[in-house]
Structure 1
Amino acid sequence: MGVRNSCAVGLGRLTSWGLRRVLHRNASQMPGRVALAVDPNAIAHLAPKLSEGAIVVCGTNGKTTTNNVLANAIERSGRTVLCNRAGANMAAGVAAALLPGSGADWAVMEADELSTIHILPQLQPRYLVLLNLFRDQLDRAGEIDHVQDTIVAALAASPATTLVVCGDDPLSVGVALRAKKAGTKVLAFGIGEDLHLPPDRVPEARFCQVCGAELAYDYRAYAQLGAFRCPNGDFERPKLDFVATGVRVDAHGVAFGVAFPEGGTAHVSASFGGVYMVYNLLAAAAAAHLAGVDAASFQAALDGYHPENGRLQHFTVGGREVVLNLAKNPTGFNQNISLLQTDTRPKAVFFVINDDFNDGKDISWIWDVDFERLLSEKDLLAFAGGHRANDVQVRMKYVGIKAPVASTVGEVLGRLGSVPLDRPLYVLCNYSALWPAKAELEGMGERHD
């Protein structure tokens, strides 16, 4: 370690100590910013402290849950792990997570799609797990082809990295196809059976990544994910190395079997989720298997895992159940709607949409959310919140649902005062709205798992 890197690490650790111990603040990014300001190659200089290597988890939806489940599983197997559990998924967050201690067995790092070009070339991970690609934050990320180009370039700069890709997602497979031609080893995971679910109204990808023909499907799981093929034979779902079968998804959670590439199977179950969670947990199981974690340790880690950071967190406030979750793009919202519809009770929903920098100023995507499905809900009570509450109101007006504006979760709960307590409240927020809602619920309610 050179003088410059020693200074970067020392100042980064000092910053972390000051934030945590003196100011009692979150230290998930700033220490990394300080380290990278002193040494732009700080991640590369910290990477050798990992005795077994690194796994990076990337994708539009599900990164934090998949990343943290995987980190817990590797820890359960007896190895030490450095992880950006709070979801600080740009280069500064990765650098901050690498700062503690003199060494570790593994790093398990969530990465923003566009940040892969800054993270992979320095970290040189053994595996990149690509969960899915959807339109998200269009004013920052641009269209999907720009995101694909970035990930392909990042893999080209990390030639020893194996890509573990969702084989059911045409957009992710498009990345895999290009990366494989450049020499990247590719492994695919996916669901190996028809779940007999209705297709989403506005799928993210309809066309072949090679010739542009409209894709045909034997079946879909959600959005564009499923058993796809080009009618011209140019492009299709690859052979799956990790296959989920016997899938069960209901109000009690998810369960499925996993078939591994070299033979053998494992059973995975969790008390939370939806169809999208099957993919998240399948990806985590695949990466854990590649990292040498046995099936029993993975399930034990999953049994002890409780969603954090506002992702599917449950609270009780004044005797009423409140479910908090992130919903930041059309596919995420549609999956949240599917999830709440597995709950057959009458319910209330609070949609909170902000337009801060980390959300994206362009919220026209709310018109691609299939809110019309909510018309099948009996006695639904809907509320709109956030900086763009009025936009949500207009969208709900076109659905035919009244959604009065509320400023906080507490205000919504107050308006539900005369409503029976057995009616749960679902709070669906995008990025910048999630943390305030989480803090408010933690301050006035009791969390339960």
Structure 2
Amino acid sequence: MGARTALATGLGRLAHWGLHDVLHRSASQLPGRVALAVDPHAIAGLAPKLSQGSIVVCGTNGKTTTNNVLACAMEAAGYRVLCNREGANMAAGVAAALLPGRSADWAVMEADELSTVNIVPALRPRYLVLLNLFRDQLDRAGEIDHVQDTIASALAASPETVLVVCGDDPISMGVALRAREAGTRVLAFGIAEGLRLGADRVPEGAFCQACGAQLDYDYRTYAQLGAFRCPRGDFARPELDFWATGVRVGREGVSFDASGRTLPGKVRVCASFGGVYMVYNLLAAFVAASLAGVDGQTFQRALDGYHPENGRLQHFVVDGREVVLNLAKNPTGFNQNISLLLADEREKAAFLVINDDFNDGKDISWIWDVDFERLAGSPEALRVVAGGHRANDVQVRLKYAGIEAPIAGSVAEALEAISDLPRERPLYVLTNYSALWPAKAELERMGERHE
């Protein structure tokens, strides 16, 4: 470690001590900002402390859960792991997670897609896990091709990195095509069977990444993911290196058999939190863990002990009513949450909260691509409440979907709005980024965690 990196590390650790130990505040980003201000190459300077290397997880949806499950599995296998568990996924968050004085075997780091161009060349990870790509935060990220270009450039600057990619996602496979042409080794994972579930009404990446023709599907799992192929024969889902079969998805969670070309046999993976998207997240975590030397039994043991604590699919009980909190920040994320909500056969209520802070994106026109009409057509009784800075916009969108929704300024007000409903009816709280942590803090004050 050079003198400048050593100084940056020392000042970053001092900032962490002041924030975490003295002020009792989050130290997930500011110490990294301090370190990078002193030494812009601090991430590269700290990378040699990792005896085995690093794994970076990126993608539009699911990277925080995938990253944290992976880190837990590797720790269960006895590895010393550094991880940005709080979801601080830009360069400052990665630098902050690398600051602790202890050495480690691995770093497991979530990375914002646009930040990969800074993080990957500096960290030189052994594996980059690409979960999916969807339209998200258009005023910051731009269109999908810009995100693809960024990730492809990051991989080109770290040629030893292996790309572990969702082979079911044609947009992610667009990145893989470019990466493979540049010499990157590519491993693909996916679901190797149709799930016989209703696919989303508004798929995004429905066109060939090579010629632009509309893709054909043997089956779709959700959004644009599935067994796709170009009718002109120049682009298709690759032969999978790792795959899931025997998939079960329900309110009680998900389960599937994970298999792979380099694995000795099937491993049954089960989790108490659900959704089709979670099958992909857990399969990606399983694949990365396996590549790092974690066996299937250890992975499942870690998963059994994993409980979301970052607002993703957290369950609370407030005055006898179950409240389910989850992140929904773009059309695909919302559509998957709607699928999860509809899979709950109980009568229920939903509080939909949309903010437009910087980390959410000011442009919220994407709410018109969310299939809220599925809620209006639900056979079960459903009460919906709108909230957030853009509550009125949500209310108008829901009106066009045939849903009347009163406005509430908080979770407590939403609970009051449905207080006439029996306590057996759960409330689903779906928020985008900046609304998630306030909702989580409010629920922790009002109720108790429910595992």
Write the deviation string for residues 123-159 of structure 1: whole angstroms up to 9, x where unpaired: 0000000000000000000000000000000000001
Aligned to 2:388: 386
Displacement, 1:93? 0.2
TM superposition shift of 1:305:
0.3
2:30 corresponds in structure 1 to: 30
Which residue is equivalent to 2:406? 404
- One-letter amino acid matched to 1:281: L
Give 1:86's aligned residue: 86
- Distance in 2 between residues matched to 1:74 and 1:115, nearest whole Å: 24
Partner of 1:300: 301
Q: CA deviation at 1:16?
A: 0.2
> What CA deviation, in whole Å up to 9, does each residue of 1:242-299 have, x standing for no partner?
0100000011100000112124221100011110000000000000000000001000
Q: Normalising by structure 1, what TM-score? A: 0.99
Equivalent residue number for residue 363 of structure 1: 364
1:172 partner amino acid: S
- Residues 243-254 of structure 1: matches in 2 within 5 Å? 243-254=243-254
For residues 379 and 280 of structure 1, the distance between their equivalents in structure 2, rounded to whole angstroms, comes to 31
What letter is aligned with 1:289?
S
In structure 1, the residue corresponding to 2:298 is in which secondary structure?
Answer: helix
| Pairing of 1:12-411 with structure 2 (within 5 A) | 12-263=12-263, 264-377=265-378, 378-411=380-413
**2-side partners of 1:4 and 1:272: how far apart?**
45
Gaps of 5+ in 1: none
Secondary structure in 1 matching 2:164: strand
SS of residue matched to 1:325: strand
Query: Offset of 1:323 from its aligned partner?
Result: 0.2
Instruction: Give the secondary-structure state (helix, strand or coil) at the position aligned to 1:202.
Output: coil
Runs of 4+ that moved beyond 4 A: none
**1:448 aligned to which of 425, 447, 450:** 450
The structural deviation recorded for 1:348 is 0.7
Distance in 1 (CA, whole Å) between partners of 2:246 and 2:123 is 37
Q: CA deviation at 1:414?
A: 1.6
| Cα distance in 2 between the residues matched to 1:101 and 1:187 | 34
SS in 1 for 2:322: strand
CA distance in 2, matches of 1:216, 1:183: 28
1:209-233 Cα deviation digits (max 9, x unpaired): 0001100000000000000000001
1:417 to partner: Cα distance: 2.1
* One-letter amino acid matched to 1:334: N
Q: Which amino acid is 1:392 matched to?
A: V
Match of 2:433 in 1: 431
SS at match of 2:256: strand
Q: Percent identity of the aligned residues?
A: 76
Give the superposition deviation at 1:376: 2.8
Deviations 1:46-77 (A, max 9, x none): 00000000000000000000000000000000
Q: How many positions carry a matched residue from both structures?
A: 449
Aligned-partner residue type, residue 206 of structure 1? A
Per-residue CA deviations over 1:388-427 (Å, capped at 9, x if unaligned) read 0000000000011101110000011122222110000000
Residue 206 of structure 1 and its aligned partner are, at CA, apart by 1.1
Q: Alpha-carbon deviation of 1:101?
A: 2.2
Output the TM-score relative to the length of structure 2.
0.99
